[in-house]
Structures are given as C-alpha cells and as structure tokens.
C-alpha cells in the first residue's frame, strides 16, 4: 500500500574484489529480501548498486547494514540525519517544510513529522551540507539543530542561562495571546476610532509571526495553515470586522499554545530516553582516575561505576559484580545479576556493587543511541493510514479554498443577475470561514500523534518498532511462526553427551568440534567452546578454513584435515554413512536433545548430544496469543523431528515442522501467508533472515545483545522474553482504534463546519475553535496510548 518509491545508485566496495561473482549474487538477493525494497541490482564493473525502495518501509541505514552483513561496504556519500525542529507549532507546516527540504538539490528523501517535531533527511553529502538543510528548515521560522551529543551539549548550555530574548522566543504563543487579550480588553470600553486602533494593533502584534510563516510557505509553494489564517485575518480586517480579526488571532495563539503543551508530552517520551546517558564518566588514565564527558569515551577506556549510578557506556565488566536494572533498554525492571565478562549498556542503572568496565562502543554507537536513532527513523516514516490521509489532505485544502473563492463571488453575482441586492458582505464572511476550515490540521495529525506515542511507549517497554507500517500490521496478524532455538528455548546449549566412534578419544573430538565452531555464530557453537574449556583447559585449536552450511552445519580444515559437523542431513549431503549409529542417534534425540555428528571423509567420528531449556514464560504467552485471536501458531526448526516434538509439547504448541532448511522455512512462511493473510515470524535473527524478511512482520528476540538481530528485525524485542508479544498486539490494536476515532472525529467536525459555513453561517472565532480545538482533542486522545 505504499505510494512512494525512491531509486538510488550507490557506490559499493565488494568483499573480495570486483570479480567476486558469488558475493554479487548474495548481495543482490540480500538487498531484495529487505522489506520495502522493490528491486536491486549490482554492477560489479562500476562497483555500484542500484536499489529501488519505499522509504516509508525500508531505510537507507537498513540497506547499508544488510550490505555490511554480506561484507560489502557502501562507500556511500549518502548521509542520513534526524533534525530537531523547535517551535514547530502548526501541524501542516511540517509538510511545507518537508516540501522545501525535498526540493533542495542533493536531498534524496525527507520525512517531517509534526508529532515528533523532527525531520529525517537522506542526502548526498557532496551536493548539500547539513547546514544548508538546517537553514532551509529555519527558513520556515522553526529553529533546527542536528540531533546528537553535540546538540544536546549546546542545549544544556542554553538552558543554564536563559536570556530574555530566548524566553520570549520560547513563549511566543503565550506572549502573543496575552498581548491580544489585554489589548482587546482595553479596547472594549473605548470610543470607536481608538478601539479600532487597539484592535488593529492586537491583530498585527499577535499575528505577524503567523503571517511571516505564511509568506515562507507561499515561497515554498505550499498552502498551509499559516497562509490560510493570514488570508482570513486580512480579509476580516479589510471589511472592517476588527473584533473578529483580533479574536481569530488570539484564539489561534491560544490553541497552538495548548497544542504545543500536549505535544510536548508526546515528544518527551523520546527525549526522556535520550537524557538517560550520564554526562560524565570516571575513567582510568594511567594511575589516575579522571572525570571526562561521557560522549568523549572511546573503545577500550576503563570506566568506574559506583553503586546506584547510571552506566555511562556500553561495555564489558572486567571487575565487580552487581544487579543491574536494564529497563531503559529491555523494558524489564527486574535487575539482572552481572559479573566479569558480562555486557552492560549505557543508560542502565547499576545496583549495589561497584564496577569497572571496559567500553566496547563509542558514545555515538551505544545500544541506547542506536535504539534512539531507529525510533527517530521509524517516526519519520509514514504508515499506510497516514499516507492515505496525506493524500486526502493535499486534495482537500485546494478544494475548500476554491469553494471559498466560489462562495465569495458566485452567489452575490447570481443575486445581482436575479435583480436582488447583492449580500457581498455576508458571502465574503462565509468565504473567510471556509478558508479557516480549509486547514486539514486535525486530520493530518490524527494518525502521526497516535503512531509516535505508541512507538515511544513501546520503546520504553523494550520493544523497538521500526515504523508505523509495522505497528499497524502487528494488530492484524492472524498467524505466528516461531523459530525454535533461541526463541522458544533459551538458546544456551550444553554438551550433555559425547560419544567417540572412531580412533579419536572424547577430548580430541571435542577439541576439533570446538575449533570448527569457534568460527560459527550458531547458538550451538558456544556449547562446544564451554565443553572444550572444561575438558582441555586453555588449550584450543585454530581452524584453517571455515564454511557454514545454513540449517545443516559447517565444514572446516583443522590441523590439515577436512572435517564436517552437523545434523543427519549434513551427513547425507556429504555421503557420510550413519547407518551403524542409527540407534544411538535416535535414543539421544528421544529425550528432546539436539544431536550433532562430527565426521571426516565418509567416516563418522563422534556424536554429541546438546541440551537446551525451553523458556518458562513461553507456554503462558502462547496461550494468551491464542486468546487474542491468533488463529495459527507453529514452530519451525532445522532440528530433528524428535527434538522438535519434545520442545513443541513443553511450550504448548500443537503444530511444528522439523528438519527445515532456511529456504523451506521461507516457503512455509509464504504458504501460511496464503492461508491466513498476515503472518508474523519470530526468530533470534541470526540464521532466519530470509523467513523474517518474507513474513508480514519479522520480530526478533533478545536484540539487546546482538547487532544483527536488531538490524534485521521489523520489530525487535530488546529483552529476552516473548511475553512482550501480547502487549505489542494490544498496543497495535489500541492505536488502530484511536486512529480511527481521530480520523472520524476530525472529518465529521470538518464536514459539520463546512455545512454550517455554507448555510446558517459560521463566526470566524468558532471556525478557529473548531480547528485548533479538534487538533487538541485528537492529540489528547492519542496520549492515552502512553499508559
């Protein structure tokens, strides 16, 4: 349901030289698998990729990330930035700003959102600078500054010394409203000509800023609220209706003042997250400990964290133990015990232990910073509902404005022709009222305020939603497919049995298996490392080559000999005969364990049984999701039938498919879509990327620890728990309901006001009240999503 496609040509550095044909094919298929990408091609001779994508679903950063996963670096001069817009208080000005920025040469895409007061831009660094873009935004009377640590620092400095000018600027609406009210009150008892002067002064003083904004919009060839209001006020003043003109200006300021107040609460939910990082960190420098700004930290710095402090950086604990509250990241306020070797995140709260950590990410690249960046990007993208409304709004305003022009001219002319006296004055007033109603304000914000609030509210609970489109879709899901390992189970394997079959003994086969798996990112791999540690101490082997075979196992050279490791399918593919060990195999699988075989040539060398525990909360979640109307829930796994059945039964799933290759998982996703329509796939994001991409919504678990997982998902559950799913579905449905109410309510009042204006007549002040009042109400309605 998307209406926009953006087409880009980007330079790329391919993994191993431009002639690497396999990686070209892999890169293209990876790019085409991203949701929202309509087509991709890679030209290896010119080292460029060409992608066509819908910027409301896919983002440039997602495309870059996906390319990086394949090992291709986009040597791109394309940048993406989110810019904060202060003083943005007219709902449909966002779109005139967006138009003006989009029109700048070098800007590929811009998405402005009134509800978050931000504009997200993708631009060619060589053609246009961020400064030029900011200036284009500022040309519309809003203050713009790039988001980021630097900007936040500036903000702090400004707030410590608020100059009177700043105060006036920040409270312009309040000052304007006060001025207009006082002048109108003073004018009340005075004789007519003095009264007129005061009212005119009120109109001009309170309205010049709006007029200015209107002038800028006209220059950007946009017809926004400022233009319409200014025309109406000038019209009212021109026919000598100064009371009307002044009260329109006063009410307009008041409405915007209240609106800004309500809006600030929406925007605050994101800004709160942003302010979580502490400003200073205590860092070890040689033998001294010095205080440094947290945004100056670099990778490898040793940072000290006292009990009760916020952790200033992403890092690894090297000394100390503590219970850490990770709510800002995972939404889970139950503290988690952490000790040496464990990862900690910037913005989380240290408990009672003192810690020393080694920073593992620069300040701009912490998990928290990336979550924020994703949330901002998500808010800039338009959900299908909003695209429809925007389309409607872009037609609505010109239609009502032409209606106003018609009303001002035709009826009086008809009256004259019919030989009656023309009621010029009355019709002109009706036309002015129509001009005010022509602003689609309440309508255009009805959807984004709800979506921004919902995305913000989800992120505070550790659920990262990558765009309004996905928020919308989640509530419509009819089927959910789960990956087994790491999703339904904890994905923390332990080697529970080792059976040596040939010439090598148990510690030797473990050493070889551990060597191969040291290059694998499969959840099984860690278990071999642990077991090797246990049996062989610090002694470990290095593989000379490694190749993962997705969904089956891996191949590697260790100490000059070729080995394969994996499931029975892998053995069949490599023609290893396993008939002699069939009974041993099935006995181990019976107990729900995953069995892996190590072989060399055609000879099996060992059997390993690995145990993994199902998550405790899963059973209850599956139950709840069924109650929420998810008609079909099933498990998809590459593991063997018997192990699969055991896990499915423990978590209460009645359906499962075992022994699947990644492509087969993808096929099942497609089949399920044909049967149920909207299908969600939930995985750990490591080896299920194709299935996640093919599903209607790809949901990834435990993204806090894994970069890949956070990037491939449409929705990321940062915490390691499925129990957020019912919340997510309810949130999506509630926001859909609120959006429906908002649209219905603002459309109905608009139509009602138009009908009134055309028939009995509509005082201008009531037209303004209708406009700003409804905007305020839809905002307040959306704020209900915060709880």
**Residue of closest CB approach to ligand ADP:** 638
Calpha distance 697→677 (Å, rounded): 12
Examine residue 642 and tell whether it contacts ligand ADP (CB under 6 A): no
Nearer to ligand ADP, 260 or 552 (CB): 552
Examine residue 621 and tell whether it contacts ligand ADP (CB under 6 A): no
Contacting residues for 196 by C-beta, under 8 A, at least 6 apart: 242
Nearer to ligand ADP, 473 or 688 (CB): 688
Q: How far is the CB of 465 from ligand ADP (least distance, A)?
A: 24
Examine residue 594 and tell whether it contacts ligand ADP (CB under 6 A): yes
| Binds ligand ADP (CB under 6 A): choice among 554, 607, 710, 772 | 554
Q: How many residues belong to the site for Mg ion (CB under 5 A)?
A: 3
Nearer to Mg ion, 66 or 483 (CB): 483
Please state, as a whole number, how many other Cβ atoms lie within 10 Å of the Cβ of residue 282: 16
Walk across the sheet containing 349-350 and list its strands.
Answer: 336-338, 322-325, 349-350
Calpha distance 715→474 (Å, rounded): 9
Where do the H-state alpha helices sit in 418-440? 424-437
Cβ distance 48 to 4 under 8 Å? no
Strand partners, 619: none
Closest CA to 329 of 768, 56, 703, 784: 703
Examine residue 592 and tell whether it contacts ligand ADP (CB under 6 A): no
Q: How far is the CB of 486 from Mg ion (least distance, A)?
A: 6
Examine residue 433 and tell whether it contacts ligand ADP (CB under 6 A): no
| Binds ligand ADP (CB under 6 A): choice among 113, 532, 567, 735 | 567
Binding at 119: pick from ligand ADP, Mg ion, none (beta carbon under 5-8 Å per type): none
Nearer to ligand ADP, 252 or 528 (CB): 528
Calpha distance 374→164 (Å, rounded): 36
Surface-to-core class of residue 417, CB atoms within 10 Å of its CB (0-12 exposed, 13-18 middle, 19+ buried): exposed
Examine residue 612 and tell whether it contacts Mg ion (CB under 5 A): no
| Binds ligand ADP (CB under 6 A): choice among 348, 459, 485, 779 | 485
Stretch of 388-396, 471-479, 521-529, 718-726 lying at the interface with ligand ADP (CB under 6 A): 521-529
Each residue 171-190 as x (binds ligand ADP by CB under 6 A) or -, in order, gives: --------------------
Examine residue 520 and tell whether it contacts ligand ADP (CB under 6 A): yes
Closest CA to 476 of 693, 629, 690: 629
Binding at 522: pick from ligand ADP, Mg ion, none (beta carbon under 5-8 Å per type): ligand ADP
Calpha distance 84→113 (Å, rounded): 10
Report how far Cα 409 is from the mean position of its chain's Cα atoms: 49
Examine residue 520 and tell whether it contacts Mg ion (CB under 5 A): no
Nearer to Mg ion, 390 or 684 (CB): 684
Each residue 226-265 as x (binds ligand ADP by CB under 6 A) or -, in order, gives: ----------------------------------------
Examine residue 366 and tell whether it contacts Mg ion (CB under 5 A): no
Q: How many residues belong to the site for ligand ADP (CB under 6 A)?
A: 21
Cβ distance 137 to 83 under 8 Å? yes
Q: How far is the CB of 524 from ligand ADP (least distance, A)?
A: 5
394: its two tokens: 């872009």
Q: How far is the CB of 666 from Mg ion (least distance, A)?
A: 13
Q: How far is the CB of 151 from ligand ADP (least distance, A)?
A: 42
Judged by CB under 5 A, the chain residues 29 through 68 that form the site for Mg ion are none
Stretch of 49-57, 176-184, 478-486, 576-584 lying at the interface with Mg ion (CB under 5 A): 478-486
Examine residue 483 and tell whether it contacts Mg ion (CB under 5 A): yes
Calpha distance 460→269 (Å, rounded): 8
Cβ distance 381 to 55 under 8 Å? yes
Calpha distance 95→81 (Å, rounded): 18
Judged by CB under 6 A, the chain residues 738 through 777 that form the site for ligand ADP are none
Nearer to Mg ion, 133 or 709 (CB): 709
| Binds ligand ADP (CB under 6 A): choice among 63, 346, 393, 565 | 565
Q: b/e per residue, 504-542, with b = 16+ CB within 10 A?
A: beebbbbbbbbbbbbebebbbbbbbbebbeebeeeeebe
| Binds Mg ion (CB under 5 A): choice among 269, 330, 459, 485 | 485
| Binds ligand ADP (CB under 6 A): choice among 294, 346, 524, 669 | 524
Examine residue 553 and tell whether it contacts ligand ADP (CB under 6 A): yes
Nearer to Mg ion, 687 or 735 (CB): 687
Examine residue 708 and tell whether it contacts ligand ADP (CB under 6 A): no
Examine residue 639 and tell whether it contacts ligand ADP (CB under 6 A): yes
Q: Is 462 left (phi over 0), alpha (psi -120 to 50) or beta?
A: left
612 among known catalytic residues: no
Each residue 668-707 as x (binds Mg ion by CB under 5 A) or -, in order, gives: -------------------x--------------------
Using DSSP bridges, classify how beta strands 561-566 and 553-558 pair: parallel, antiparallel or unpaired.
antiparallel
Residue located via tokens 């050279």: 557
DSSP string, 506-548: HHHHHHHHHHHHTT--SHHHHHHHHHHHHHHTT----EEEEEE
Distances (CA, A) of 307 to 160, 325, 328, 355, 400: 28, 12, 17, 8, 62
Judged by CB under 6 A, the chain residues 673 through 702 that form the site for ligand ADP are 687
Nearer to Mg ion, 139 or 662 (CB): 662
Examine residue 615 and tell whether it contacts ligand ADP (CB under 6 A): no
778: its two tokens: 């839809």
Cβ distance 65 to 716 under 8 Å? no
Binding at 637: pick from ligand ADP, Mg ion, none (beta carbon under 5-8 Å per type): ligand ADP
Stretch of 68-76, 195-203, 273-281, 518-526 lying at the interface with ligand ADP (CB under 6 A): 518-526
Surface-to-core class of residue 592, CB atoms within 10 Å of its CB (0-12 exposed, 13-18 middle, 19+ buried): buried
Catalytic residue among 314, 483, 529, 639: 483
Contacting residues for 444 by C-beta, under 8 A, at least 6 apart: 91, 92, 95, 114, 389, 390, 393
State the residues that interact with Mg ion by CB under 5 A: 483, 485, 687
State the residues that interact with ligand ADP by CB under 6 A: 483-485, 517, 520, 522, 524-525, 551-554, 565-567, 594, 596, 637-639, 687
Residues known to be catalytic: 483
């Amino acid at each position: 349901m998307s209406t926009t496609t953006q087409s880009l040509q980007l330079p790329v550095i391919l993994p191993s030289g431009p002639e690497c044909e396999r990686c070209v094919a892999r890169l293209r298929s990876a790019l085409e698998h991203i949701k929202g990408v309509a087509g991709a091609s890679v030209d290896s001779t010119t080292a460029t990729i060409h992608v066509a994508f819908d910027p409301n679903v896919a983002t440039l950063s997602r495309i870059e990330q996906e390319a990086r996963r394949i090992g291709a670096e986009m040597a791109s001069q394309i940048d993406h930035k989110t810019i904060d817009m202060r003083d943005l208080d007219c709902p449909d000005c966002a779109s005139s700003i967006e138009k003006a920025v989009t029109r700048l040469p070098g800007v590929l895409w811009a998405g402005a959102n009134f509800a978050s007061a931000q504009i997200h831009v993708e631009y060619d660094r060589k053609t246009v600078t961020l400064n030029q873009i900011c200036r284009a935004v500022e040309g519309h009377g809003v203050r713009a500054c790039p988001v980021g640590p630097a900007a936040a620092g500036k903000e702090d400095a400004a707030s410590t010394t608020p100059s009177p000018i700043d105060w006036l600027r920040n409270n312009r609406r309040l000052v304007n409203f006060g001025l207009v009210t006082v002048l109108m009150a003073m004018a009340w008892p005075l004789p007519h000509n003095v009264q007129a002067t005061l009212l005119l002064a009120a109109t001009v003083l309170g309205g010049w800023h709006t007029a200015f904004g209107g002038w800028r919009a006209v220059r950007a060839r946009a017809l926004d609220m400022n233009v319409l209001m200014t025309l109406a006020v000038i019209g009212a003043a021109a026919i000598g209706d100064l009371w009307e003109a002044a009260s329109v200006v006063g009410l307009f300021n008041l409405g915007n003042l209240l609106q800004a107040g309500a809006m600030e609460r929406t925007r605050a939910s994101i800004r709160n997250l942003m302010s979580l990082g502490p400003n200073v960190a205590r860092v070890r420098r040689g033998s001294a400990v010095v205080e440094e700004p947290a945004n100056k930290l670099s990778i490898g710095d040793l940072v000290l964290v006292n009990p009760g402090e916020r952790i200033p950086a992403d890092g690894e604990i090297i000394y100390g133990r503590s219970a850490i509250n990770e709510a800002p990241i995972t939404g889970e306020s139950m503290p988690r015990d952490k000790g040496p070797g464990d990862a900690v995140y910037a913005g989380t709260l240290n408990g009672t232990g003192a810690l020393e950590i080694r920073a593992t990410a620069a300040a701009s690249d912490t998990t928290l910073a990336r979550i924020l960046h994703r949330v901002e990007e998500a808010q800039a993208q338009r959900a299908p509902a909003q695209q429809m409304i925007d389309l409607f709004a872009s037609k609505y305003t010109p239609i009502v404005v032409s209606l106003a022009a018609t009303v001002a001219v035709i009826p009086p002319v008809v009256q004259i022709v019919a030989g009656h006296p023309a009621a010029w004055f009355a019709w002109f007033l009706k036309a002015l009222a129509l001009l005010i109603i022509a602003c689609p304000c309440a309508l255009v914000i009805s959807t984004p305020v709800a979506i921004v609030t919902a995305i913000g509210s989800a992120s505070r609970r550790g659920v990262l939603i990558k765009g309004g489109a996905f928020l919308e879709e989640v509530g419509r899901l009819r089927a959910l497919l789960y990956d087994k390992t790491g999703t339904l189970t904890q994905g923390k394997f332990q080697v529970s049995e080792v059976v040596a079959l040939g010439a090598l003994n148990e510690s030797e086969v473990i050493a070889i298996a551990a060597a191969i798996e040291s290059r694998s990112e499969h959840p099984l791999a860690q278990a071999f490392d642990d077991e090797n540690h246990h049996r062989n101490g610090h002694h470990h082997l290095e593989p000379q080559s490694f190749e993962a075979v997705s969904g089956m196992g891996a191949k590697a050279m260790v100490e000059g000999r070729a080995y394969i490791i994996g499931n029975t399918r892998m053995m069949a593919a490599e023609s290893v005969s396993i008939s002699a060990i069939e009974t041993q195999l099935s006995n181990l699988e019976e107990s729900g364990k995953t069995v892996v075989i190590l072989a060399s040539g055609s000879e099996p060398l060992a059997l390993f049984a690995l145990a993994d525990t199902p998550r405790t909360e899963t059973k209850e979640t599956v139950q709840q999701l069924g109650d929420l109307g998810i008609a079909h829930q099933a498990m998809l796994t590459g593991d063997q039938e018997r192990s699969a059945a055991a896990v499915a039964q423990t978590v209460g799933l009645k359906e499962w498919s075992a022994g699947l290759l990644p492509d087969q998982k993808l096929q099942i996703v497609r089949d399920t879509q044909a049967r149920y329509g909207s299908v969600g796939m939930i995985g750990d994001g490591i080896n299920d990327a194709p299935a996640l991409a093919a599903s209607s919504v790809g949901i990834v678990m435990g993204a806090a620890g894994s970069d890949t997982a956070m990037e491939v998902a449409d929705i990321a559950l940062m915490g390691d728990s499925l129990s957020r799913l019912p919340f997510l579905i309810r949130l999506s449905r509630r926001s859909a309901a609120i959006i429906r109410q908002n649209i219905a309510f603002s459309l109905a009042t608009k139509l009602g006001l138009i009908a009134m204006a055309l028939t009995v007549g509509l005082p201008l002040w009531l037209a303004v009240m209708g406009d700003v009042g409804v905007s305020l109400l839809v905002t307040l309605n959306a704020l209900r999503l915060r709880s």
